[in-house]
Every structure is written in structure tokens, then in C-alpha cells.
């Protein structure tokens, strides 16, 4: 945990008029305050934070400040979220949420395959974010209704949602500090003989902009994997993310020659399986990937918490077929 979270914050009654006090960590010393706030509150754009500074919503060591002012280790920043965030609130829509755990600060839920996490190009409604706003309208005061990480549309599994700003900041910093533990079950093509890791930078594909790829100039990415079961034509693995790049597991497993079964983007040309295997993969109609375990340090109690879920029925059905699959 960084210095910004070294003290307990009392946020039992936080609303738009309550300040959120943050201590500048060592790694942001010497930064402009607007840049520092972007790092501390990644859910808000730099332009919005700059405007809030100009409007007097941000104080540095108790004084009004300007966007270009430098901050140093131990400086105290106070942010009051203006009510204007309501103007950009997304539409609340009733969506079934499979909630695994909820308390005053976090929601842990099991996202189903097929549900987009937040609105974007081509998906402006019926997303998890729309459903969260319907479930709890107070989430409109938190960036992206508390969503601090995401799963691909066709990946099911556990996600954590922050219910207030201090929790949001805490969880973002935990993700950056890699204290959030995310474990995935995956079924990959081919036979892996021993556990290992993939450390290869990821960025946008140089020519296919809707895809990610291992690129020398990309962002650091590290995935660990253990073997759970060897099948005739596939391997069941447990993947542990050390970083959280877009499509990381899918890209890394493709990179080592073992793409995820059923992956329509990174799976490549389907091997010549028997007809039952091909039918099962078509029926799955998604990549064989599930976020089955999630662990984190609770933002309020500072105790480590962990949740897990059983494998989804469609993935269990696929495994049963793959246990008897063969190449033609």
C-alpha cells in the first residue's frame, strides 16, 4: 500500500460535500497537482480535474491551488467532488446482479458471460455499469459507478466494485501495488507439460486495432499459470495475473502457442478435432475463461479477504466433452 493509504479514513457519511483527503505518495513527488490527481483518481479525466482545481474544489495543504503547482511527498490534497457529476450520470437499468458479498464499502459480484462491463462504442446501455446505478443510485458519485477493473464481455467471474471515493482510490492503488489477487480458470489448446509464466509486453496490435498483441514497446505484462488437468487435446490451467492488461491471458497464451479454447479473436484456425469437440466449442460460443477467485485487502478493516465461485455450467459441460476429445 502507498503512503496515500497508510491511515484509516472515516468515510461513513461521504457525499458530494465531504472532502476526500489524500497524502501524496513518494512516487508522485515533483509532479504537477493535476497530473498527480489523474494518477490518484483514474476514473476522472485530466481536463475535469483541472477544472475542479480552478473552481476551488481542490485544496493543497489547506490552500487553494492551480493545476501546474508541484506536489511533494506528504503533501495533503483535499478534493470535494462537485455535484456536476450528476450531469454525466448514465442511465440506470434493471440488470440481474449476482452479488457474492456486500458491505458498506465494496460489492463483490459474479459477472455473467455476455455482459459488457461499462458503456462504450457500440454498447451504450445494458451494461454492468447501468445495472449498478439502478441497484444503488449513490454509486453515481463514484467514477464508473465504482468499477475499478473489468472482465471481457464473454469472460465470466468475480469483480469488485467500490461504493465510495476513498474505497475507489484504495482499490486502484491496490491494483497498482499488485495486492489484488486475481485467479482465472482457463482451458487452452494443446498439451502443456509443466507450470510456468509468460512475461511479455502488451499493446494494441500494430495493424488490427481491435486486438491486443505482444509488442516490444508495450506495457509490462506478467501471467503465471499452473496445470490443473491434462486433457487429450487441451490443458486446464489456473492463471494468476501479476498485471492487468487488456486481454492479457488471451494474448499471453496465444503468444506461447496455446490459445484459449473457443476464443473467437485469438484462437486462430481451429485444429481438426472430432465432431463432438467442434460442436461443443461452437455451443460454448466464447473463450473458455473464468475469474474464479478474487482476493484483496479490505479498504476499511485492512484485513485480507478472498472469495471464490464454482466453474460456470457451460465451462463444466465443455470440460466433460474435452475429456473424450481427439484429433481427426
**Residues classed as catalytic:** 152
User: Rounded to a whole number, what is the distance in angstroms from the first to the last CA of the chain?
Assistant: 52
- What would the grid cell of residue 218 be? 508495450
Instruction: Give CA–CA dist 212/201, Å, rounded.
Output: 10
Instruction: Give CA–CA dist 174/326, Å, rounded.
Output: 43
- What would the grid cell of residue 82 be? 462537485
Instruction: Give CA–CA dist 326/328, Å, rounded.
Output: 7
Distances (CA, A) of 199 to 185, 216, 269, 288: 19, 11, 25, 21
Instruction: Give CA–CA dist 187/290, Å, rounded.
Output: 10
Q: Which long-range contacts (CB under 8 A, 24 or more apart) does 32-36 make?
A: 32/67, 32/68, 32/69, 32/70, 32/71, 33/58, 33/60, 33/65, 33/66, 33/67, 33/68, 33/69, 33/70, 33/71, 33/77, 34/67, 34/68, 36/71, 36/77
Contacts of 171 (CB under 8 A, 6+ apart): 106, 148, 160, 162, 180, 296, 299
Instruction: Give CA–CA dist 47/164, Å, rounded.
Output: 22
SS3 assignment, position 74: coil
Q: How far is CA 70 from the centre of its chain?
A: 30
Distances (CA, A) of 211 to 127, 202, 226, 255: 21, 10, 26, 13
Amino acid at each position: 500500500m502507498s503512503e496515500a493509504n497508510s491511515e484509516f479514513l472515516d468515510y461513513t457519511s461521504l457525499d458530494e460535500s465531504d472532502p476526500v483527503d489524500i497524502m501524496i505518495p513518494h512516487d508522485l513527488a515533483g509532479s504537477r497537482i493535476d497530473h498527480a490527481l489523474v494518477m490518484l483518481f483514474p476514473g476522472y479525466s485530466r481536463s475535469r480535474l483541472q477544472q475542479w482545481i480552478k473552481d476551488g474544489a481542490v485544496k493543497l495543504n489547506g490552500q487553494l491551488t492551480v493545476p501546474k503547482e508541484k506536489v511533494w511527498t506528504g503533501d495533503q490534497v483535499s478534493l470535494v467532488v462537485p455535484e456536476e457529476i450528476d450531469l454525466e450520470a448514465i442511465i440506470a437499468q434493471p440488470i440481474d446482479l449476482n452479488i457474492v458479498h456486500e458491505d458498506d464499502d465494496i460489492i463483490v459480484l459474479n459477472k455473467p458471460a455476455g455482459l459488457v462491463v461499462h458503456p462504450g462504442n457500440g454498447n451504450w446501455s445494458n451494461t454492468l455499469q447501468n445495472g449498478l446505478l439502478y441497484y444503488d443510485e449513490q454509486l453515481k458519485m463514484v467514477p464508473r459507478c465504482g468499477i475499478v477493473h473489468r472482465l471481457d464481455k464473454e469472460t465470466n467471474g468475480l469483480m469488485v466494485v467500490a461504493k465510495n471515493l476513498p474505497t475507489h482510490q484504495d482499490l486502484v492503488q491496490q491494483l497498482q501495488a499488485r495486492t489484488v489477487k486475481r485467479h482465472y480458470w482457463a482451458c487452452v489448446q494443446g498439451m502443456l507439460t509443466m507450470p510456468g509464466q509468460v512475461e511479455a509486453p502488451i499493446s494494441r496490435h500494430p495493424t488490427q486495432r481491435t486486438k491486443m498483441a505482444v509488442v516490444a514497446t508495450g506495457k509490462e505484462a506478467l501471467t503465471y499459470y499452473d496445470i490443473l488437468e491434462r486433457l487429450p487435446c487441451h490443458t486446464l490451467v489456473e492463471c494468476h495475473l501479476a498485471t492487468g492488461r487488456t486481454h492479457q491471458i488471451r494474448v499471453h497464451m496465444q503468444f506461447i502457442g496455446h490459445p484459449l479454447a473457443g476464443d473467437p479473436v485469438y484462437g486462430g484456425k481451429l485444429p481438426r478435432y472430432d465432431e463432438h469437440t467442434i460442436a461443443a466449442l461452437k455451443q460454448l460460443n466464447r473463450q473458455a475463461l473464468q475469474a474464479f477467485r478474487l482476493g484483496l485487502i479490505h479498504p476499511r478493516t485492512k484485513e485480507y479477504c478472498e472469495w471464490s465461485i464454482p466453474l460456470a455450467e457451460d465451462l463444466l459441460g465443455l470440460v466433460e466433452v474435452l475429456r473424450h476429445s481427439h484429433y481427426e
